[in-house]
């Protein structure tokens, strides 16, 4: 196990960080759906995609330590970034009705459950964006050290 971590370069450790940030974004999404009147329509899809992104980021981390930088590791990392970006898209499109009624009109301004669903939805989107960017930045670097 010690040799596994010796093979990894510093940017490889961004992959588990991205998986944890994606998990945090999913938890924030659960919190934004706490009120039954403001449950996001596609939240099940976003949860499935979040779990898939966590699995893919973890797989890319272990692949970079086991087989090094190669096509398989790059494809898994690319898939993880794309899946996390899809989480951003589907969360944004699922929360637009709450955004419209709280931010862009006075329909539900001042109503605490609607405002909580709105602001936690925005926090979830921002957290998914951060997870996507961390994973994308890690993809620009060498994840495993060259063997001598």
Q: Where are the alpha helices (DSSP H) in the chain?
A: 2-7, 14-32, 43-66, 71-94, 96-102, 112-139
User: What pTM value is reported for the model?
Assistant: 0.91
Query: What is the average per-residue pLDDT within 59-65?
Result: 92
What length does the chain have? 148
Determine which of 19-23, 33-37, 46-50, 82-86 has the lowest per-residue pLDDT on average. Answer: 33-37
- Cα gap 99→115, rounded to integer Å: 9
Q: For residue 81, which of 52, 43, 123 has the smallest C-alpha distance?
A: 52
pLDDT of residue 134 exceeding 60:
yes
Q: What is the mean pLDDT of the chain?
A: 91
Using CA atoms, how far residue 78 sits from 84, 92, 97, 126, in Å, is: 10, 21, 31, 20
């Amino acid at each position: 196990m010690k040799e596994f971590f010796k093979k990894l370069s510093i940017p490889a450790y961004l992959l588990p960080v991205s998986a944890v940030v994606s998990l945090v974004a999913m938890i924030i999404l659960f919190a934004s759906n706490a009120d039954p009147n403001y449950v996001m329509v596609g939240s099940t899809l976003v949860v499935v995609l979040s779990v898939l992104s966590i699995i893919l980021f973890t797989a890319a981390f272990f692949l970079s330590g086991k087989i090094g930088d190669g096509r398989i590791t790059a494809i898994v990392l690319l898939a993880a970034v794309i899946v996390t970006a899809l989480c951003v898209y589907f969360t944004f499109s699922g929360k637009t009705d709450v955004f419209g009624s709280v931010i862009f009109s006075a329909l539900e301004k001042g109503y605490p459950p609607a405002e909580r669903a709105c602001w936690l939805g925005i926090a979830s989107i921002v957290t998914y964006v951060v997870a996507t960017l961390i994973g994308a930045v890690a993809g620009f670097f060498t994840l495993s050290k060259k063997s001598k």
